[in-house]
Structure formats: C-alpha cells, structure tokens
Chains A and B, each alone.
Chain A
C-alpha cells in the first residue's frame, strides 16, 4: 500500500522538497491463489458436494476410460490395415473387416466422448451451483457479528471466484483420469509393439517432464504478474470512471493520463514477458518431438530393414509420438488447477464452517396474533465479546401500544438493544421478552413477523418500487402496498416516476433521494403490519421539507403499535410516552420528558444544549459536559 509508485513524473517547479503525491489506481491485496496440491480435509468437504452425483462420476470415469481405449485402438487398427490388410497376399475382405472394426471404434469413441463430456460438464456445473447455494443459505443464518466484520466483496469472491475454481477443478479432474490413462496406454502400447524401440523413444519423456516442471514455476510467476498488472490497470480505469466528477472538478485529467500511461506501459511489459514464456515451450516440445521421430526413423528403420518389426509398427510409433505430448501438457496444467482449487476450497470451507450461533430451540413455539406487543428487558447483559459487555444489567418494560424513545450518546448500547429484541444475538445474562415470551423460546421466523424494523440507513433492493415495499410480506396485495405508500406520503413521488409502482429502482435506489428512500422503507415496515415497530432514526441531516414528511410518516407508522425508537430528533423524543436514557451500557434515567427535565440529569443537559442529534456528541462540548455525557 505504498503511497508512491515508481517512475513519477517530475514537477517542473520542483523545489527539491515537495514530493509528488499522485497515483492512479491502487495496489490490490490479492488472496493466496495456489495452495497445497492436495488437502485431505478440503477434498473430503468437496466430495460431500459431489456425493449426490457419484453415479454420474462413475459413468464419466468409465466413459473417459472407454474413450481412451478407443483413442489407442485407432492407430493400432491403422497399423493392422497397413501391415496385413494391404499386403498383396492378404485374404480378400480383410481390409474391409479392419475398416469395419475401425468404424466400430470411432462410433464408440464418439459415444464415449459425448457421454464423458456431457456428464462431467453437467456434474461440475451442478456442484458449482450447489456449493454456492449452500454457502449463500449458510450466510443467511450465520452470526451478524461475522457479517459485520467481513466485507461483502470478500464474501462475493468466495461465492464467485472460489466456487468457479472448484468447478474448473472438477471438470478437469475427470479429464486427467483420461490423460493419465492415455499416457499409460500410449506407453503400454508402444512397449507392447516393440519394447526396444519404445525404450529409445520414451527417453525423451523424462526430459520433457523435467523441462515442463521447471518452466511451470517460472511461467506461473510471469502469468500472475501479467494478470496482476492487468487488474491494476483495469482498477485504475474503473477509478477514473467512478471518480470522473472529482477528477474533472480538480483538473487532474492531464496528470492522471500521464500516470495511467506509465501504468499501462508496465502492463504491456508484463504481458510481453508472459507471452514470451508461454511461447518458449513450443520449440522445446517440437524439438523433443523431432528427436523422438528421428530416433524412430533411424532405429525403427533399421529394425524394419532387419525384419525385426513391420513397417506398420513404425508408422504407429510415429503417430503415437505426435500424441503423447498432449496429455503431459494437460496434466501439468491440471497441477496448477489443483493447487488453485485447494486454496479456494480451503476458503470455502472456512465460510461453511462459520458457526450459526442463533438457532431455534427444539421446542420453539411461534409467536401468534394472540400475543401482545410488549417488550421487556430483564437484567440483560450482553457483549459482542463477552469480556466486554456493551449492555450491563439493563431492565425496562414497554407495554403493548406504548412508545418508548431510547436515547444516549454513541456507544451507550442503543443499537445493541434493538438487535437483541430481534434476537440477532443472544444475551449473556438476563432475558429479552417479546409478547410475554423469552425470544429464545419462540421461532425466529414468527419473531420476525411480530416485529417490523426500520434501520438507520434505508436499504433498497434492485427491483420495482412495488417489490421493494412488499418485500417479504407476500400476503400484501398491490392495493395494500399503495395504501401503505399513501399513508407514509410516498405515493406522490412514486406516481410521478416513469412507470409508477413498476419503476425499477436501480443500484439500490440511487435514483431516489435519501428522504424518498426513507419513506419507502417506512412503507415497507407498514406493509409488514407487525405489532411492534423498532426504528433506528436516521442521523443525517435532510432538508427541512423532507424532514417534516418523515416525521409525519413516522407518526402514522407508530399508530396502533408498540414503538421502540432510537431517537435523535427532538420531535421524536418529545412525542414518546417514555424515554429510556442509556449511557455506557447502563440505563441511567427513565421517564417522560417532563420528569427527566426535572431530574436535571444527562437528558436535561443534552436537551438544553439543543443539539440536533443526541448521539453525535459535538467536539466542542465543554470538559464538564463531556464528563457527564460519556
């Protein structure tokens, strides 16, 4: 992550002191690409995914073996045709017979290759999709603290890149069975035809193998470098596109183009180097092939002359020689594929092994409509790390239909409290009760229906407005959705969109303003029609007009339900029936506005300071005030 790259342009006004601080693109920290060639644990895990398709695997392996045998038979038949079928004294019909056999061989070859490739291809694709599905499903349930500390991009590369390299591995695995069989077969047939000639020819094999292995290490480094250079250049282009407005506003286009030119120059060099290394193998293989053929011509020629072998054998040898480099090439490539697959497999296993720490109890009951909308914290202690609790022995009770505002400075435990109500995490001591039940005794699904939640950052999905408001409330009709939108005051702007409720929201609603997105997420919660509404109020300043609309919508949303709001806005707080003040994980004050003001505690202090937001403590708070607040 060095801030400077080599080869900076010189500043024409360089005074010798100032350094240039310009870069385009950035270095990427690539993950380990190659792992051990074989990792038993990983292979076992992957096998579990292949297991449902094991019959197909055997079919594929059988087909690949049949295919290989047919591949080997074909030159042999040619040899028989030449040596016997074409001899002047050959019985009539022998040649036709051999050619008929040849026909059978190629038909078998056709069927086997069709079967093998199709079965392998389908199987590998299926396994790929299965692994991805399993992983994705797993991520739906793993602990949120894992999700919080893991970048989405990282998980995506598990779900895409790593899964793909497993697929590549599976597909090529079956082929390598074929490659090995072919190699063994060729060597075997050659030895069987004439072991002395075969021994002479096969001497090139270890040389080829050795060269190939040496080459592989070097070439791989060069290929990786080229790949890396490529992605850096592409990253720089992406940056220029995403940041074009900043680039133009600050007049950096010219300098950036110069820097990019250097970057691309390096990419070019890296590619050329990789290309040189890739091509260097060609003359080597050709030379070795040439040597092997020369050996056959001289050695085999002498044997033919001395009558030791027939000329057909010599022709067959020449055929085989041109073929045995192919399996060696694919086998060495398979080696890399395997290493890559092991590294990927290891990472996949890690994700699949992430613990799911919140599960339904075996005797969990569903929360139903008969359960009320009360929420109770009974001596709750909780910490993401049990050593450092963020909530300490907190108790409060929200009656069904009541509105309670949670306030307190950053780090007071407000957000953790609402996560516990929804059982995103389990408490370490005490209990959270919803509708009179401990949340650990009810099913998560029913808990989700009992509570509607509005997060601080409105989050929309790519899809139509209709789909976004309805989200998972399948029971809601289109009219319900429109009603909800009307209730929160979103109907007007939705109507004004090109296709109304059927308008696509692109890139998570980037075509909407923050306030509009907020209103849509309110409508979504309203459609869910839960008994309890939990809301984390947005902190960002929005313009006063939208702000007013949101406040109105909020009132509408809270009507007739239990409301628990992490409040930042004075209006919201003053509208609450009760206010719970948290500080560093403790509940320090509780009561309505007047009571708390009369207490002259933290709440009164913050209220008097008249800050728009209660949790973003201003930096110019006096030392004394700060001491109270934190």
Chain B
C-alpha cells in the first residue's frame, strides 16, 4: 500500500523575473550550466558543509544508526511471527513474546530518535550554510559597482539570493545525507535479502532498477519543465500586473478584449504545460507502484511455493515482504536525490558566479583615506566609455577645476553625458582616461569609503527606502540627532510637509508606505544628501519636479552650506543654474561652451539658443506649427 509521492515539485517559490530578454543575460534561470562548473559547484558546496563538522558528523552517524534500526524491525517481526507459529498449539511462552515486543518497541523508539537527530542535524547544517551564504551574497551585491548592476536584472539577482540559495541549502540533507541513507538502506537490504535466498532476493529487488530509473527521469523532467513553467507564469503575471497598473490606458482605448486575448494566450500556454507536468508525474509514480507490487506478487508466488515445500518459513517470507515495503520509499526517492544534485549544481554555479564576481571598483592596495585640505576638485582630460560600448566614449576631454565655495552649472541636450560625468566623481564608475583629483589626490588611489564620504550626490531617480521619513533622511548618518534631521528637512523645504503627515517624521514612505509626489521625493532626497557634509555636492538633475519658487527657497537655504564645499548642478531649467560661478555646456560628451551666464549669453551660441527657447517657448512652437502646415 503506497501513496503516490506528491513531493515532486522541488521548488516552491515563484521565479521572480519574467523575461523576453536576449539569452546572454547573466543569472538566467533556464540557461544551461556547463558540467565542469556544475561539478565544481558541487565540490565547493560539499566543502562548505564541512565547515560544520560536528553537526555534519552527527547527521551521518545518526543516519547509520537509523538505518540499522529501520532494518532491524522487519527482522524482529519475522522472528516474532516464526516463534508464535512455533508455539501454536503448545503452551504460550508469554515471557518470550514480551521480550520480543519490548525489543520491537525499543527499536521503533530508537529509529524515531535517530531519524530526528539525522534530519535535524542535516537541516541545521543547511540553515547554517544558508546564513553564511546570505551574508556573503548581501555583502557582494552591495559592493559590486554600478556597471555590474547596469547589466544585471534586479529580478535575476534576487532570484539568485532566494531560489538558488534554497537549492544550495537543501543540498546537504536532500543530496549528501540522502545518498548515505539510500546507499545503506538499499545496500544492506539487498544484501540481507540475497543472503537469505538468492532467487527470492532477486525477485524482491527486481523492481529497484526500474523504479530508480523512472524516478530519476521523472524528477529531472519535472525540474526542467518547472523552470519553463515558472517562466511562462512569470510572463502571465507580468501581463496581468501591467494591465492592472495601466488600467486607465486599457479603459481609454476600450482595449479589454485585446487584453483578454493577451491573457488567454499566456494562460493557455502555461495551462498546457502544467497539464503535461501532471501527466509526467502521474504516469511515472503509478508505474513505479505497479512495478513494486508486481515484484511483490512474484515473491508471493515463488516464496509461497517454498513455504509450502518447507524450504523457508512463513516468518522469512514476512520478512521479505516487510523489507520490500521498507525499500520501496527510498528507491522512489532516488529520483529526488538525483534531482538534488542537479539542482545544487546549477544553483550553486550561479551563486558562485555571483560570489566570485570581481569587485572592479575597490580600494587600491594600501590605500589611505582621502585628506580634505582646500576642497579643490579637479578633472583632467577625463574620458569614459561604458562597458561593452567599445571605443565609443560617452564623454571625453573633460577638464575643469572648482574650489571650495564655487558652484559649477552643467547643462546640455539629453544624452550629452551630464549624468555620466557626475557618476565619475563619487567613483561609481572609474574614468577610462584622464584623472579626477580632490586636493591633489587621485580618487582611485584613496579609499573608496572616504571618496563617497567626500562626494555626495542627489541622484536623478532617488530610491527611497521603505521606512520612516527620519530613517530615510538619516540614511547616510544614522546616529544623527533629531535636530540635524529636522534642519536638513527644513533646508530642503520638506519640514512643513512632514509636519502635516499623520506620524510626521515617523511616517513610513516608499513602496508600502505613504506615496510621495515626484517633487516631495526629490526634496527628501536632497534632505538626506545634506546630512553628509561632503566636500563636493552634486545635484544631478534633481530639482526637475520641484516648482521654481520652492527651488529658489532651497537655494537660499543652502547659501551658507554651499560656502564650505564645491557644488555641481546639472539641470535643464536655466533658472536652476544661471547663478553658478561657471557654466559648462556639454554636447556629445564634450564641453563646447564655458563661462558665466552673462558671458555665455554674450557668446550667442548654444547656451543663448537654449535661453531663448526657455524664455519664449510659445512663440517658437507657433513658428514650428506654421512650418508644419
């Protein structure tokens, strides 16, 4: 009597990222992992498991003990049956029966306890391993430079940290310990059966090769199709999510039918695959059960004849049958074990690919902290090309100098390289040509943390953390006093708004909190950057959503603040930067005009053209429309 195994889907968490991306994507779930790397990963995980030698040792020892008890039980049972039969018709030997019963009970209890020890120790090795790996992944992810994150899908990375971690965590218990368990059970079981009676033993074991093979094929197929199914379901949820988030577009175009058709296409695809998966599972489990029972029938037939002819006892036959039932489960589980190895090798390979990724932007050997003296920022013929862009440089030949208290404005058409340039100064990327120095020290020669401390940037798209407003503002300086936090918020013209919120500075913002408007987000982002007291402060197009009046007040509030540092302002609204000491006009990655607002107007070049456009937009558009007609 067996229940079909339902523990066939090895992974339960949904795959995060749906994708239609090209196949060279890193950390892609369905991508094949080459055998060499897979084996290497297995070896490495195995070594890591033995970082916990005590627990691993207990797990192995308990496994051996549990197997012994497991196998002892049918032997005792067989003995019990034989003795009982021997006593039949004579005086009952109650004492003997009680001894057998107690032995049986003892063996059962011990089997339970050893199994507990085995499972618990094995799982605890897995969890400890997971803890180590989690910390390592987190640390790595945080330190890998922008260039890495630019070309990696965040969803894929999260999946590595969730699902691949899970695959590696399960390795010790479902692969290693199970290997020992199954080898012992099947090995000793087979030996016992064969040594009792070769023919009957072979008959009893006849289902083993078949079941082992089917079970392995089934698990591997299920795993492969599981990954594909997850991808299909990912596409489906993406479709649903986009539909719901864009429901106004859907309604505006009366596109409900169109959307349902899209949904049905994806949905049908996924449904068909899951039907196929059910069939694979059902056919194989049923076939395994059948094979097992068929073997049992043979044992019954031939064993029965031997009993009838007195060659073996009924007890021996009972032992045979019990052994078979005991062996049945482990044999079916061989597939799970095979799968656990397969899973650990692919998951491990991806995980180690991440962990072994070189951190390209890091401290140079023996680097010292940056020492700020005059607070002078200098760029010398700086050029930069993005990873994979070949010779095509995003910026080139950029040179300028700014001393403490100075403000530099940077302007130019979209794609001119303004943000790229700003990202070089805090060393988010390393310049590929030229050098950036602060007080004469090349930023690549000093420690990274001191550069990041000296250069603060308000980024274009500010990421807010799902936590309170005060935690967000104090992000860079978590030990600050309330007074400073409020001060920063006040300078960023955020304080009054915060006071109007239900929990004021304790209001949770971000993904699952109060949603802020674009302008409020930018002001919050400014407030948190002000907490850093840097030598160089960069506003990277970070006031676009703030209205002109508020921006003026922020600028006024920062007047004193700006005196102690270099301020770089990237903006497209001229009003944001026309007060700057110098304005650089960037085009195609080069500085094409530089000077003060007045000088540039007098020059009558691109800056002047932009100025005219911004001052009299409607006139221009009217002209354009006239042309169009």
10 tightest CB-CB pairs across the interface, nearest first? A448-B254, A290-B108, A286-B112, A283-B112, A472-B255, A453-B252, A294-B101, A250-B476, A121-B278, A543-B572
Q: Which of A223-282 contact B (CB under 8 A)?
A: 233-234, 236-257, 260-261, 264-265, 267-268, 271-272, 275-276, 278-280, 282
- CB of B104 within 8 A of CB of A240, answer no
**Among candidates A26, A257, A271, residue contacting B512 with C-beta atoms closer than 8 Å:** A26
Please indicate the chain B residues that have their CB under 8 angstroms from the CB of A102 in the complex. Answer: 293, 296-297, 300
Residues of A with C-beta under 8 A to B532: 250
A147 touches B481 (CB 8 A): no
* Assembly CA distance A87 to B614 (angstroms): 107
CB–CB A279/B116 < 8 A: yes
B residues 97-114 touching A (CB-CB < 8 Å)? 97-98, 100-102, 104-109, 111-113
Whether the Cβ atoms of A137 and B260 lie closer than 8 Å is yes
Residue of B nearest to A251 (CB): B452
A569 within 8 A of B: yes
Within 8 A of B (CB), among A131-166: 132-133, 136-137, 139-141, 144, 147, 152, 155-156, 159-160
- Whether A249 touches B457, Cβ cut-off 8 Å, given contacts A286-B108, A306-B92, is yes
| A496 vs B137: C-alpha distance when bound (angstroms) | 37
Q: How far is the CA of A300 from the CA of B307 in the complex (A)?
A: 21
Does the CB pair A99–B253 fall under 8 Å?
A: no
**A260–B245 CA distance with the chains assembled, in angstroms:** 32
Contact of A298 (CB < 8 Å), options: B101, B161, B281: B101
Given A283-B116, A302-B92, decide whether A240 and B1 contact each other with a Cβ distance below 8 A. Answer: no
A596 interfacial by beta-carbon distance below 8 Å: no
Central interface residue in A87, A253, A276, A541, by most chain B CB within 10 Å? A541
Query: Residue on A with the closest CB to B2?
Result: A71
Given contacts A286-B115, A422-B251, are A304 and B138 in contact (CB under 8 A)? no
Residues in B neighbouring A86, C-beta threshold 8 A: 304, 307-308, 314, 317
The answer to whether B275 has its CB under 8 Å from any CB of chain A is yes
Give the Cβ gap from A289 to chain B, nearest Cβ, in Å: 6
Check A237–B112 contact: CB distance below 8 A: no
Is A237 within 8 A of B141, CB to CB? yes
- Which of chain B's residues has its CB closest to A422's CB? B252
A284: B residues at CB distance < 8 A = 112
Chain B interface size, as a band, is 35 or more
Contact B253 A241 (CB under 8 A): no
A18 in complex: contacting residue of B307, B317, B475, B481, CB < 8 Å: B481
Cβ of B213 < 8 Å from any Cβ of A? Answer: no
A residues 62-107 in Cβ contact with B at 8 Å: 71-72, 74-75, 78, 81-82, 85-88, 90, 95-96, 98-99, 102-103, 106-107
| CB–CB B253/A528 < 8 A | yes
Could you tell me the distance in whole angstroms from the C-beta of B171 to the nearest C-beta in chain A? 16
Whether A213 is near chain B, meaning CB under 8 Å from some CB there, is no
- Which residue on chain A has the smallest CB distance to residue B268? A129
Which residue of chain B is the closest to A83 with respect to CB atoms? B314
Chain B, interface SS category: helix
| Complex Cα spacing A471 to B262, Å | 11
Q: Is B602 an interface residue (CB 8 A)?
A: no
Which stretch of A338-346, A378-386, A426-434, A544-552 is in the interface? A544-552
Judge if B242 is at the interface, Cβ distance under 8 Å: yes
The stretch of A50-58, A393-401, A611-619 that contacts the partner chain: A611-619
Q: Is A540 part of the binding interface, using a Cβ–Cβ cutoff of 8 Å?
A: yes
Chain A residues with Cβ under 8 A from B252's Cβ?
Answer: 422, 448, 451-453, 455
CB distance B462 to A246 under 8 Å? yes
Does B444 make an interface contact (CB < 8 A)?
no
Flag if A240 contacts B240 (CB, 8 Å).
no
In the assembled complex, the CB of B55 is this many whole angstroms from the nearest CB of chain A, namely 11
A248 touches B1 (CB 8 A): no
What CA separation (Å) do A14 and B244 show in the bound complex? 48
Asked if A39 is at the interface of the complex by the 8 Å CB criterion, the answer is: no
Task: Tell me whether A444 is interfacial, beta carbon within 8 Å.
Answer: yes
Complex-state Cα separation, A133 to B263, whole angstroms: 8
Q: Which of A114, A267, A569, A570 has the most CB of B within 10 A?
A: A114
Considering the complex, give the chain A residue whose CB is closest to the CB of B233: A160
Contact call A571/B621, Cβ cutoff below 8 A: yes
Query: Known interface pairs A82-B317, A541-B545. Does A156 touch B621 (Cβ–Cβ under 8 Å)?
Result: no
A234, B617: Cβ atoms closer than 8 Å: no
Question: How far, in angstroms, from A239 to B464 measured CA to CA in the complex?
Answer: 10
Q: Does B553 contact A (CB under 8 A)?
A: yes
The segment from A192-200, A214-222, A315-323, A581-589 found at the interface with B is A315-323
A248–B362 Cα gap in the complex (Å)? 12
Contact with A along B561-588 (1 / 0, CB 8 A): 0000000000011000000000000000
